[in-house]
């Protein structure tokens, strides 16, 4: 086990070694623990088992040859975020994963020798693995890493870092962008962001309004934006523009990367014609694809390969426009069926966020005795937004105008924050439980901030 004495978050120490000690009480197979001294907090060191990194490195050789491995040797197991249920152990192997992350990093980010690249993802999730470590370092690029939170010690932390380190490529999540919008334009505008030449997004579909803010305020209308679609399971980017080569459309992940063969199919597994929506599948193998679920080959086959024979089932909904560009509609299990009308949560969320007062929105379905399913919207407002109570009717009318009366939420609940994983994904299944009035919610092991869930429960009970 490799860990540190602690980590920094919002000025406080996260006691990492103490968490490891507790876990090892139930993990007798671990024989050694290497501890990096980071925060100098007091920790317990068990003689014979625990070792300080700096002491081990005192006599270490300056050179360490890479270990030759078979291309299919297990590289790592990464447990998915659990946004839809029990976490799954995704297995990636050495050769194919490295090919996928190397090539996508090289071409999607247009990496150059003098670039300073920064991906803001949590390094423990797949974006951190693929696009902080493996893809970036195999290209020999210079990367920035940070710990803590984007609003500590101040809401302009990201923009201050870009200015100080002369970051040229900035890769972040739509949920972060919408949070920046909520905090106000004045924070990025007080910094010199002229070093930036390329922007990217990852993690979930980006609504056009957030895309335009990113383009205008952060990129100063001169930086290409690569809106990338991929998954923990795919290992590397699958749908993405190439900067300067593929024309972009706000909100679209555009077209497939080299060798990727996506398709959109209906319930019967048949290809649908644009602009009809359906299930996004991949029709041929790609280098960085997951090999199995650790210890559960049967679940692997059932979850990814049983719905459409011969195809990888992504679990995402999508549509293609007349130009062949792909538009992601959210997770298939985030589809709401209101009185027989199926709609993706992403389009209702996008309609809500298009209102000037809204910073972020998460939409879920909940049981309704007449409609079968009704829509609940959890909304966070911009700091300059008017009185929340008066906004409920206005937002309902706004969604009706943007999509239609069938999409008007039955519930609109205002909240200071939404429950998210450390990778920034909104945990909609927890919101579904709350909207349905359940006292107990599902697995919360990957929830970043438990206080958000507690506040939502209080608001629900109130």
Tens place of pLDDT per residue across the chain (462 aa): 999 999 998 889 999 999 999 999 999 999 999 999 999 999 999 999 999 999 999 999 999 999 999 999 999 999 875 544 567 899 999 999 999 999 999 999 999 999 999 999 888 889 999 999 999 999 999 999 999 889 999 999 999 999 999 999 999 988 889 889 989 999 999 999 999 999 999 987 888 889 999 999 999 999 999 999 999 999 999 999 999 999 999 999 999 999 999 999 998 999 999 988 899 999 999 999 999 999 999 999 999 999 999 999 999 999 999 999 999 987 777 777 676 566 778 788 889 999 989 988 999 988 887 677 889 999 988 877 777 777 898 999 999 888 888 889 999 988 888 887 766 678 888 888 888 887 666 666 556 566 777 777 666 554
H/E element, 34: strand 33-36
CB 279, CB 248: distance < 8 Å:
no
pLDDT at 422: 66
Phi, psi of 286 (to 5 degrees): -140, 155
Is the bond preceding residue 275 a cis peptide, omega within 30 degrees?
yes
**Residue 140 included in any domain:** yes
Residue 210 burial class via C-beta count within 10 angstroms: exposed 0-12, middle 13-18, buried 19 and up: buried
Residue with token string 């890493």: 145
* Domain-ending residue, one of 301, 329, 357: 329
CB atoms within 10 A of CB 2: 10
**DSSP E strand stretches across 120-274:** 142-144, 169-172, 198-201, 225-227, 262-265
Residues 411 and 438 in one domain: yes
The domain that holds 390 is classified in CATH as 3.30.300.30
**Residue 68 included in any domain:** no
Residues 271 and 404 in one domain: no
**Residue 158 included in any domain:** yes
Residues 50 and 146 in one domain: no
Residue with token string 């009717």: 393
Residues 267 and 376 in one domain: no
List, in sequence order, every residue forming a beta bridge with 293; answer none if it has no partner: 90
**Residue 69 included in any domain:** no
User: Residues of 424-442 as b/e, b for ≥16 C-beta within 10 angstroms?
Assistant: bbbbbbbbbbbbeeeeebe
Residues 232 and 364 in one domain: no
Residue 306 burial class via C-beta count within 10 angstroms: exposed 0-12, middle 13-18, buried 19 and up: exposed
The total number of structural domains that make up the chain: 3
Picking from 331, 240, 238, 232, the residue whose alpha carbon sits closest to that of residue 290 is 232
Residues 119 and 263 in one domain: yes
Residues 88 and 203 in one domain: yes
In eight-state DSSP terms, residue 406 is G
Residues 384 and 308 in one domain: no
Enter the pTM of the model: 0.79
CB 228, CB 254: distance < 8 Å:
no
User: Residues of 189-203 as b/e, b for ≥16 C-beta within 10 angstroms?
Assistant: eeeebeebbbbbbbb
**Residue 424 included in any domain:** yes
Residues 116 and 180 in one domain: yes
**Beta strands 262-265 and 292-293: pairing type?**
unpaired
Per the structure, the complete domain to which residue 37 belongs is given by: 2-59
* Residue 141: partners with Cβ closer than 8 Å, 6 or more residues away: 105, 111, 115, 117
Residues 29 and 158 in one domain: no
**Residue 256 included in any domain:** yes
Residues 179 and 160 in one domain: yes
* Domain-ending residue, one of 307, 329, 351: 329
The CA–CA distances, whole Å, from 133 to 92, 101, 288, 372 equal: 15, 9, 15, 46
Residues 344 and 317 in one domain: no
* Domain-ending residue, one of 303, 329, 355: 329
The domain that holds 239 is classified in CATH as 3.40.50.12780
d(CA 405, CA 426): 25
List, in sequence order, every residue forming a beta bridge with 89; answer none if it has no partner: 79
């Amino acid at each position: 086990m490799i860990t540190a004495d602690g980590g920094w978050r919002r000025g406080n120490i996260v006691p990492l070694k103490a968490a490891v000690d507790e876990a090892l009480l139930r993990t007798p197979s671990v024989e050694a623990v290497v501890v990096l001294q980071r925060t100098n907090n007091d920790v317990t060191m068990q003689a014979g088992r625990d070792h300080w990194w700096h002491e081990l490195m005192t006599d270490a050789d300056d050179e360490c040859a890479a270990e030759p491995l078979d291309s299919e040797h297990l590289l790592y197991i990464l447990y998915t975020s659990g946004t839809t249920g029990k976490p799954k152990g995704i297995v990636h192997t050495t050769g194919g994963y490295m090919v996928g992350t190397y090539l996508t990093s090289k071409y999607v980010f247009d990496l150059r020798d003098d670039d300073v690249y920064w991906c803001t993802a949590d390094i423990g999730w797949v974006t951190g693995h693929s696009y902080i470590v493996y893809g970036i370092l195999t290209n020999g690029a210079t990367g920035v890493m940070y710990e803590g939170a984007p609003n500590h010690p101040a809401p302009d932390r990201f923009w201050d870092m870009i200015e100080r380190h002369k970051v040229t490529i900035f890769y972040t999540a739509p949920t972060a962008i919408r949070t920046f919008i909520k905090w106000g334009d004045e924070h990025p505008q007080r910094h010199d962001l002229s070093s930036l030449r390329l922007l990217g997004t990852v993690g979930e579909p980006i609504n056009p309004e957030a895309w335009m803010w990113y383009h205008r305020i952060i990129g100063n209308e001169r930086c290409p934006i690569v809106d990338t679609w991929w998954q923990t399971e795919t290992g590397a980017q699958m749908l993405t523009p190439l900067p300067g080569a593929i024309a972009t459309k706000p909100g679209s992940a555009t077209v497939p990367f080299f060798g990727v063969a996506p398709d959109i199919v209906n319930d019967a597994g048949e290809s649908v014609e644009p602009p009809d929506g359906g299930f996004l599948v991949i029709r041929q193998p790609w280098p960085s694809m997951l090999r199995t679920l650790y210890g559960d080959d049967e679940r692997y086959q059932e979850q990814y390969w049983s719905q459409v024979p011969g195809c990888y089932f992504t679990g995402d909904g999508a549509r293609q426009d007349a130009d062949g560009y792909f538009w992601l509609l959210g997770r298939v299990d985030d589809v709401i069926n209101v009185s027989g009308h199926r709609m993706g949560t992403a389009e209702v969320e996008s309609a809500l966020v298009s209102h000037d007062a809204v910073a972020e929105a998460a939409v879920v379905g909940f049981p309704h005795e007449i409609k079968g399913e009704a829509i609940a919207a959890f909304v966070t407002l911009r700091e300059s937004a008017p009185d929340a109570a008066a906004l409920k009717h206005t937002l309902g009318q706004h969604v009706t105008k943007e999509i239609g009366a069938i999409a008007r939420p039955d519930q609109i609940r205002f909240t200071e924050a939404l429950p998210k994983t450390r990778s920034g994904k909104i945990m909609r299944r927890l919101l579904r439980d709350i909207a349905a009035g359940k006292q107990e919610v599902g697995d919360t092991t990957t929830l970043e901030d438990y206080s958000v869930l507690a506040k939502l429960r209080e608001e629900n009970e109130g």
